[in-house]
Structure 1
Amino acid sequence: MSIRRLVPAALAATTLLVALTGCGTSQADSRTSSAGTVTIRIPDPGNSGVLALGKKDGSLAKALAKVHAQVAWTGSDGPFAPAAQALNANQLDIATASITSGITALSQKPGFEFFTATTPDPVGEGVLVKKDSGITSVKDLVGKKVAVNQGGTGEYLLLKALAQAGVPAGKVKRVYLRPDQTAAVFNSGQVDAWAVWSTYAVAEIGSGKARFLADGQAIGSDNYTLTTVRTAFAQRHPAVVKALYQYLHDGSVRQKRDPAAYLNVNTGTGPQAVTGAARRVQIEFTGEGGTVEPVTNADTERFKKVARFYADQKVTRTEVDIAAHLLDVTTLS
């Protein structure tokens, strides 16, 4: 199945009108100033990454100015579930998701599409255990408690690891927790393992007290990272979406080449900073990671497999049609 292209202008206008009427859109939708400048709402990127550096050095503002756009930083970057709600409620235009959290959100009533894909993290995501836990294989998780975020990356990684090892999912207790609340539970021994990604794994591995029982590569993860755009925004401002894609792509190439330059952009101290051994771990993980690319037909087939896997594992009630929500950014103008 080919990736969906934008609908013709007349149909897009009609679709947009229906969408705006149906969701009670406010005047803030795709805000355009009297000078013709479009405002694109993006979660604040925090202290690290391509957008963080672009916010600080002004390069993102310059790139978007070329297509008569400007950024309004809205809220903060975090889990995709609340971001999906904000997209659907016309409170946000751009967000980042994993394919797994994206599929879960699509099982609702989505008003967004995915327009970039970054290949699964081979070394920065997986199932964490304490170094002294005595757990040496995925099969050792039988009868154990594993923390996961429900319907997102953590649950996917655990289920994928169990399937790879031939362990029935019901033989492992899933403990559903928010990722930002799990470290204390994991470190206190209330769970035996934690299926998680680099945002949270870096600190644990950097502490020297935890290790991956199985990382993304060993699990055979298809957990792509995606950039999401609100459908109505993409239909009205395709040139802005394309410009943002190009900025993210170019920045990700530079970041992979020099990860340290994209760490601790605003501060090197405090809770936002990545320091010591954790900094070395993060640099290694980023250097092994992928770059931001357009969604290809080959990617679509892998996304479908994840959707099928989620349905088979009863994470979603039915197989989500992920292909219907992919946007070919290379066709935008």
Structure 2
Amino acid sequence: MKKKFWGLLTLLSLLALLLTTLGGTGNTKAASKTETIKIGYMNSVNSVGLVAIAKEAGYFKAQGLNVKLVEFSDGPSIIAAMKSGSVDIGEIGPGAHTQVAQGNAKIVMFDGLSTSDKIIANKKSGITSIKDLKGKKVAVVAGTTSQVILDAALKKAGMTESDVKVVSMSVNSIVNAMVSGKIDAAATWAPGTTKIKEKLGSNAITLAKDSDFTSSMPFTCSWIVTPSYAKKNKATILKFDKAMLQAMNYRKNGGKNAAKWIAQQLGLSVSDVKKQITSTEKIYSAKQVVELINNGELFKYYTKQQKNFIKLGLLKDNGKLKTAKNYVMTDMIKKAAAAIE
């Protein structure tokens, strides 16, 4: 009887241990469960750069994030997709920040300062300066950086959009329109600007570029979410920021695989991407972004940009506009930076 008793007791103990082990394994799996998020980007090196690096380097995976990248033609389209719920996070260029000021989005990560946008004209149209655009057909992607740089360049020359024939087009249509002669000039960004120059050769003339206005009009690029997403998904945003800041450091330090990963995502050659990484955006490290937050410069970038939107008539100051301190989630960025140090 004693042997049976102790045998039964031993069996029960083993069962209890097994159940405890299985329970622990189940909890571990629950804790390490990955979360899928959809990220919107534009077909350009400076737009997809950080997410491509964060994805391929495994930074997202380390944070328990499974990302699906979705391509869009422009920033306003990404914001519309976020509102509909088809993407969670997206990258926008300077022009789409008008919607951020109107309360339609919050900035979860500063990307950099764009140097990608240019106004390029065809010499065959008799254009050698901004003033020569008077009465000419100029293509823009409405509501984006291209319209911002056109308005800024026109204002500097003492002109407005009423002095030219503005043609609103998709970014994908502008190159063909320039090459076929349907338009005289275009305000657009890379890789479109590069393609136009290649096709027109010596007839392509650059009239203005966003770097001409950096001191007075910073062309900020940002990663954004809707206000409702920001409120409900702080833990996810923190994970996203950690991965992105790691990617930022990798890019800033000249990561050897950065160009290859970006090229794979965009279907471009590695050599083209290498040229564009440094020529289409002023890039930063995680430490530099935190310094910009702490010394107040980051808020100044967004504030200057917003004031210029108002001056150019792209944004109406109705007394209800959000300020940079309202829409840039700096506390989250700093928390993420501290976590990866």
For the superposition of Structure 1 and Structure 2, which TM-score range results when normalised by the shorter chain?
0.7 to 0.9
Structure 1 CA distance for aligned equivalents of residues 247 and 223 of structure 2: 9
The alpha-carbon distance between structure 1 residues 284 and 76, as it changes in their structure 2 partners (threshold 3 A), is closer
Residue 318 of structure 1 aligns to a residue whose secondary structure is coil
Describe the SS at the equivalent of 2:282.
Answer: coil
* Superposition deviation, residue 106 in structure 1: 4.5
Task: Tell me by how many angstroms 1:37 deviates.
Answer: 2.6
Asked whether the 8 Å contact 1:100–1:151 carries over to 2, the reply is yes
What letter corresponds to residue 81 of structure 1 in structure 2?
P
Paired AA for residue 80 in structure 1: G
TM-score computed with the length of structure 1 as normaliser:
0.73
Pairing 1:182-261 to 2, within 5 Å after superposition: 182-207=174-199, 208=201, 209-220=203-214, 221-229=217-225, 230-232=229-231, 234-255=233-254, 260-261=259-260
Classify the secondary structure of the residue corresponding to 1:40.
strand
Deviations 1:243-302 (A, max 9, x none): 1222331232145888754553269xxxx3349xxx55x543432332145363313223
Q: In the aligned structure 2, how far is the partner of 1:316 from the partner of 1:47?
A: 25
**Which deviations, in whole Å up to 9, do the C-alpha atoms of 1:288-322 show, x marking residues without a partner?**
33214536331322322222222233222336424
Q: Tell whether the 8 Å contact from 2:94 to 2:219 is kept in structure 1 after alignment.
A: yes
Correspondences of 1:48-87 after superposition (within 5 Å): 49-52=49-52, 54-55=54-55, 58-59=56-57, 62-67=58-63, 69-87=64-82
Which structure: greater helix fraction?
2
Q: Corresponding residue for 1:163?
A: 155
Q: Which amino acid aligns with 1:64?
A: F
What is residue 321 of structure 1 aligned with on the other side?
322
- Please report how far the alpha carbon of residue 97 of structure 1 lies from its aligned counterpart in structure 2 after TM superposition: 0.5
C-alpha contact (below 8 Å) 1:44/1:75 kept by paired residues: yes
Corresponding residue for 2:277?
A: 286
TM-score computed with the length of structure 2 as normaliser: 0.72
1:237 deviates by 2.6
The residue that corresponds to 2:104 in the other structure is 110
Question: Displacement, 1:119?
Answer: 1.7
Q: 1:46 & 1:303 partners in 2: Cα distance?
A: 24
Q: Where does the alignment leave 5 or more consecutive residues of structure 2 unmatched? A: 1-28
Q: 1:187 to 1:178 in 2, by over 3 A?
A: same
Deviation at 1:72, TM superposition (A): 3.1
Tell me by how many angstroms 1:233 deviates: 5.7
User: How far is 1:155 from its partner?
Assistant: 0.5
Displacement of 1:35 in angstroms is: 4.5
How far apart, CA to CA, are the structure 1 residues paired with 2:313 and 2:305? 12
The alpha-carbon distance between structure 1 residues 314 and 80, as it changes in their structure 2 partners (threshold 3 A), is same
| Kept after mapping to 1: 8 A contact 2:138/2:164 | yes
Decide whether the 8 Å contact of 1:256 with 1:287 is kept in 2: no
Note if contact 1:256-1:286 (Cα within 8 Å) is conserved in structure 2.
no
1:309 match: 308
User: Hey, what does 1:7 align to over in structure 2?
Assistant: none
From 86, 97, 101, the equivalent of 1:91 is: 86
5+ residue gaps, structure 1: 1-31
Pairs aligned (count) = 286
1:322–1:89 Cα change, 3 Å: farther
**C-alpha spacing 1:81/1:206, structure 2 compared with 1 (3 Å):** same
Provide the rounded CA distance (Å) in 1 between the counterparts of 2:78 and 2:212.
30
Query: 1:37 aligned to 16, 34, 37, which one?
Result: 34
